[in-house]
């Protein structure tokens, strides 16, 4: 029997509607593309909500090592990747808020404390991200990231306009503020300073483990085994070699990013070793981390080491002057005095090695400015400075411009006012303990190590930072420094009050 034409037409329309609904449903499901690391992070985060608070901090600081692992991507923002640390930060903040309430969180933002200036900077940054790209639209050109859902992002020179980068960098800025507040609350309450040491040693071991795995998988042609930690929508340069050596990238998108993160760990661990905190373990890790930095063949690593080693030496000398036994000045002087002799010995006994080392350093450092990468980054800085001038010092808006130095990133994005706020925030952190002694030698040593890590982040960012977001490790260190500074102030106040009461009783 032949079916009526009207019924066939109705069935075709029904099938068409079903197909359209399926496509709409698929698009909604596709709005957030979850990766394996994202699923693992969700499971760990939920479990963390039911575990001791200290576990959440240890996991939070460990998550920062996954610099190329996307928890999920957002096609609605051009395929922007939300990294594992950013996702776990939500669970970290919820766990601490459930344990401590809003009191310690709000205490981080009390006027004239470091967190107050970070709050002002974040609020101003969001304001610039919303209004400045529209206010100055087309008035200047900026280097910015052009994202594609189906391919990796790329950098292009475009006229100033509002883009998804303004949204993503604003989200990262808010995440940094939340990380600072949550870490402040954690160390402000009943957390022991030793928890910080444990977290740093664990993340150092994870970083070194993946560095070793990166080398092994490269030479055995099994790089796919590490694909689960390389899921971000970035241009991944993980198979590069230089001078016959594998450029270590570990869990990061490239060798320079690995060097930036590992250099921070090296500074913290070395500072702890110089202060005599778990000398055997911290000394071993410091040695392994410096070997990993050298083998990474990153110019960032060598420049960073040259900049941070004198700082660590000076920090140890000053600590020994204030508190005998808190530093290792004799050892530092011996090492510095023996280095010229060791270099002279190598030049005389092994001239071939010295020649090869000269060629290696020339390729990494001395010829860097003449390379294509060096010329590109010089252009980034030039365009960032031009954007700063074209906007009359106001900046193009948070996330609008990319540079190759964090100083120019600040000037081109948030202008003079935002740069001033950031400078005050950092200076308040580095001078937080100028007047008040810490309750224990271990606490003082941990604060020194956190400051060393903070300075290292800034040194690396000034040398090669490209965006406003400089990583959650920076805000973890900043929150710890601020919290211990407030603790020292309160301890000194209680001590002074006790002395006055005792004097009155007499």
DSSP symbol at 152: E
pLDDT (average), residues 86-94: 95
252 occurs within a structural domain: yes
Could you list the residue range(s) of the whole structural domain that residue 86 is in? 33-101
Q: Specify burial of residue 363 (Cβ count, 10 A radius: 0-12, 13-18, 19+).
A: middle
Mean pLDDT of 379-404: 92
| Domain-terminating residue out of 51, 79, 101 | 101
- Answer yes or no: is pLDDT of 354 > 70: no
pLDDT at residue 438, rounded to an integer = 72
Give the confidence band of 1 by pLDDT, cuts at 50, 70, 90. very low
Is the same domain home to 260 and 323? yes
In-domain check, residue 1: no
Q: Please give the pLDDT value at position 37.
A: 86
Do 89 and 124 reside in the same domain of the chain? no
71 lies in the same domain as 200: no
Residue 352, domain member (yes or no): no
| Closest of 461, 454, 457 to residue 403, by C-alpha | 461
Supply the pTM of this predicted model. 0.85
| Listed ranges 228-232, 237-241, 331-335, 493-497; the one with the highest mean pLDDT | 228-232
Average pLDDT (489-493) is: 53
Range name among 41-55, 98-112, 309-323 with the lowest pLDDT average: 309-323
In a domain, 287, yes or no: yes
Q: Are 320 and 176 in a shared domain?
A: yes
Q: List, for residues 263-317, the tens digit of each pLDDT value.
A: 999 999 999 998 888 989 998 999 999 889 888 877 777 788 888 888 888 888 7
Is the pLDDT assigned to residue 385 strictly greater than 70? yes
Per the model's pLDDT, the better-predicted residue between 488 and 485 turns out to be 485
Tell me the per-residue pLDDT of 429-473, one tens digit each, with 9 for 90 and over: 998 665 556 767 888 889 999 999 999 999 999 988 889 999 999
What's residue 29's pLDDT?
Answer: 41
For residue 469, the model assigns a pLDDT of: 92
242-268 confidence digits (pLDDT tens): 766 778 888 898 888 899 999 999 999
Q: Given 101, 125, 156, which residue is the final one in a domain?
A: 101
Are both 406 and 451 inside the same structural domain? yes
Domain assignment of residue 359, yes or no: no
184 and 78 in a common domain: no
pLDDT at residue 338 tops 80: no
Q: Report the chain's mean pLDDT, rounded to a whole number.
A: 81
User: In whole angstroms, what is the distance from residue 302 CA to residue 337 CA?
Assistant: 20
CB 238 within 8 A of CB 44: no
Identify whether 20 is part of a domain. no
The rounded percent of the chain whose pLDDT value lies above 70 is 73
Question: What integer is the mean pLDDT of 31-53?
Answer: 84
Rg (CA), the chain: 26
- pLDDT at position 194 is 85
Q: What is the pLDDT confidence band of residue 69, given thresholds at 50, 70 and 90?
A: confident
The answer to whether residues 92 and 190 belong to one domain is no
Q: Are residues 388 and 476 in the same domain?
A: yes
Residues 428, 490: one domain? yes
278 φ/ψ angles, rounded to the nearest 5 degrees: 50, 60
pLDDT higher than 70, residue 7: no
More confidently predicted of 216 and 337: 216
Q: What's residue 117's pLDDT? A: 97
| Residue spans of alpha helices (H) in 243-328 | 255-274, 279-295, 299-322
**Quick one: 39 and 140 in the same domain?**
no
Q: Are 223 and 238 in contact (CB under 8 A)?
A: yes
Condensed to tens digits (0 to 9), the pLDDT of residues 148-158 reads 545 556 677 88
Tell whether the model's pLDDT for residue 113 goes beyond 70: yes
Asked if residue 164 and residue 74 are part of one domain, the reply reads no
Tell me if 410 sits within 8 A of 465, measured CB to CB: no
Q: 202 in a domain, yes or no?
A: yes
Please compute the mean of the pLDDT values over residues 117-124 and round it to a whole number.
Answer: 97
Same structural domain for residues 64 and 157? no
Of 51, 68, 101, which marks where a domain is finished?
Answer: 101
Domain count for the chain, please give it: 2
pLDDT of residue 499: 40
Tell me how crowded residue 237 is: count the other CB atoms within 10 A of its CB. Answer: 14
Q: Considering the domain boundaries, does residue 453 fall inside one?
A: yes
């Amino acid at each position: 029997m032949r079916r009526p034409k009207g019924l066939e037409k109705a069935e075709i329309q029904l099938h068409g509607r079903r197909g359209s609904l399926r496509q709409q449903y698929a698009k909604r499901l596709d709005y957030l593309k979850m990766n394996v690391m994202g699923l693992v992070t969700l499971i760990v985060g939920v479990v963390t909500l039911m575990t001791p608070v200290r576990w959440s901090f240890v996991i939070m600081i460990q998550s920062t090592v996954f610099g190329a692992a996307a928890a999920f991507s957002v096609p609605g923002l051009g395929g922007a990747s939300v990294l594992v640390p950013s996702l776990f930060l939500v669970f970290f903040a919820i766990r601490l808020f459930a344990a401590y309430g809003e009191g310690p969180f709000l205490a981080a933002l009390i006027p004239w404390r470091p967190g107050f200036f970070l709050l002002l900077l974040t609020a101003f940054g969001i304001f610039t991200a919303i209004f400045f790209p529209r206010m100055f639209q087309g008035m200047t050109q900026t280097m910015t990231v052009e994202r594609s859902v189906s391919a990796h992002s790329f950098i292009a020179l475009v006229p100033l306009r509002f883009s998804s980068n303004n949204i993503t960098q604003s989200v990262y800025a808010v995440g940094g503020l939340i990380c600072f507040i949550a870490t402040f609350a954690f160390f402000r309450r009943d957390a022991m300073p030793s928890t910080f040491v444990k977290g740093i040693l664990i993340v150092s071991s994870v970083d070194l483990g993946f560095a070793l795995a990166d080398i092994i998988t490269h030479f055995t042609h099994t790089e796919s085994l590490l694909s689960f930690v390389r899921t971000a929508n970035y241009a991944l340069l993980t198979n590069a070699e230089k001078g016959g050596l594998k450029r270590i990238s570990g869990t990061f998108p490239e060798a320079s990013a690995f060097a930036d993160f590992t250099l921070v760990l090296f500074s913290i661990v070395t500072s702890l070793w110089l202060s005599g905190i778990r000398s055997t373990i911290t000394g071993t890790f410091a040695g392994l981390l410096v070997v990993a930095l050298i083998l990474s063949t990153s110019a960032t690593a060598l420049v960073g080491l040259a900049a941070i080693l004198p700082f660590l030496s000076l920090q140890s000398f000053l600590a020994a002057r204030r508190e005998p036994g808190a530093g290792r000045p004799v050892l530092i002087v011996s090492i510095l005095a023996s280095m010229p002799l060791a270099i002279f010995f190598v030049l005389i006994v092994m001239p071939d090695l010295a020649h090869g080392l000269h060629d290696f350093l020339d390729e990494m450092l001395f010829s860097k400015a003449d390379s294509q990468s060096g010329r590109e980054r010089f252009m980034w800085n030039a365009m960032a400075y031009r954007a700063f001038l074209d906007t009359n010092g106001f900046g193009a808006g948070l996330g609008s411009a990319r540079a190759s130095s964090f100083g120019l990133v600040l000037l081109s994005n948030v202008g003079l006012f935002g740069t001033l706020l950031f400078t005050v925030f950092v200076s308040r952190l580095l001078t937080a303990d100028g007047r008040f002694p810490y309750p224990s030698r271990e606490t003082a040593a941990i604060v020194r190590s956190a400051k060393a890590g903070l300075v290292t982040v800034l040194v690396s960012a000034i040398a090669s930072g490209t965006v406003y977001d400089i990583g959650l490790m920076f805000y973890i260190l900043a929150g710890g420094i601020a919290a211990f500074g407030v603790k020292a102030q309160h301890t000194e106040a209680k001590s002074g009050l006790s002395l006055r009461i005792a004097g009155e009783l007499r």
